[in-house]
Structure 1
Amino acid sequence: MHIGKVYIVGAGPGDPELITVKGKRAIQEADIIFYDRLINEQLLAFAKPETELVFCGKKPNHHAIRQETINHLLVKHALKGKVVTRLKGGDPFVYGRGGEEAEYLSSNQIPLEIIPGITAGIAAPAYAGIPVTHRDYGSSFAVITGHQGSIKDFQWESLAKGIDTLVIYMGMKNLLYICRQLIKHGKNPNTSVAIIHWGTTENQRAVTGTLDTIAQKASRNNIKNPSIIVIGDVVKLSKEIGWFYPQVENVNEIRFVR
């Protein structure tokens, strides 16, 4: 029996031109594609006309297909000899459950290949003119999740005092709590913060402030997920090197809310 192969592919952060050459090839060769909510669906145009497309998107408290079912389907179609492409937003190994899927495939002896993608935690700040590292502003950065179940176990003092820049995924629901914990454990309340909503896409918007003010600004401007939160002095560079202002006719009307 011929066994197919599964490609676990990072689709990038939203701008369709940020797909890798290898990722594009995996889309083009696929017999079936399982794709997530945050991918840019323009990428599906690279697929063959006969390719089957299966939506697997997840929203808070609602999954189109449960993770266990996705794992099973990947194996099922590979055992039929198909080329299966699992298309995930950003990078599949950065909060994308790609590791879980790869484990399941490996345990079932399914050939697989991991194709990394550009993760939103680096790309969204870059499109907002914020480098996550800079010799003058921050030589270290940490990537963390803002999910309620995870943040309770954080070593807040280490994050507040030991890391120059924090990049937070899925943190909007707990933004105020995160800011308060960082201040409580020693981070300056005036530390710069940016939130980039729908980074790298035509809907990108950003709000800047400080640990003391950002939660109020985000609420006032209706900034929700999907967003990346950046905390640290590197945020100050957005004023100088910000360059991506979609849907703005006058560059003076930049989509940063100060």
Structure 2
Amino acid sequence: MLEHDLLSALFPALPLAAGEAEFHAPSIEEFFPPVVLFEGTPFELNRIMIIRLIVTFAIVLFFYLGTRRMRLVPTRFQSVVELGLQFVRVNIAEDLLGKKDGQRFLPLITTIFFLVLGMNITGIIPPFNIAGTSVIGIPLLLAIVVWFAFVYAGLRKSPGKFLRNTLFPPGVPWYFYVIVTPIEFVSTFILRPVTLTLRLTMNMIVGHLLLVLFFSATSFFLYEWQDAGLMRLFSVGTFAFGFAFTLFEIFVAFLQAYVFALLTAVYIQLSLAEEH
């Protein structure tokens, strides 16, 4: 509740009145839509939850249709699916983990990449217009999965060395471990999932608020402000900025998916490093 009140204070309605017209800037309420299905039950769904379910179903359907009848000479659709899978395999998994470990963790890294990408891209797709990753649930869940994969990979390879070298880095004088070990513990086992979560969530929140701001301002100048006069010309600028940021959000959707998957591979690679 405190978080909700704080964010509401940061994004209040802005009165820019002309007659009875009033411009309302986007607020944090955008990320707390009302329940639309199964209200009052443990399975209640709001708009963002429905978007997440649709994206998950769409991803499963996409890969099912693209891989159910693989051909030696691929169709266009099969080529698109293979191109996406090859991108993750070559440029993320095998590039960082090598062929053996890359193949081993490829299902996890591929799932994370396409799930984050799908959830991100809904922020610019009508009628969704909000990213499934703009609320902390999905980013946090994925960050926890990555954390477990990182710990599992290290413990599976060499339990003793993994924990010892992570918490007690070699080459450090023993009397410094009083300071170094707590710092290593916090940075490795706490800050990594936190930063993964916040990086993705904050990017999607800011992108959504900017798009709503520009396109709401365009609508305000054109249709809601009755006595706008020459001020209507501002709608050209706000629409241009909105269009430019829409293209930028497409880039950010891909970039954040790539970064999340890349960091997943980096963390796993660190846990498998020889010094562990």
TM-score, length-scaled by structure 2: 0.20
Query: Whose helix proportion is higher, 1 or 2?
Result: 2
Query: Whose strand proportion is higher, 1 or 2?
Result: 1
When Rg is computed on C-alpha atoms for both structures, the one with the higher figure is 2
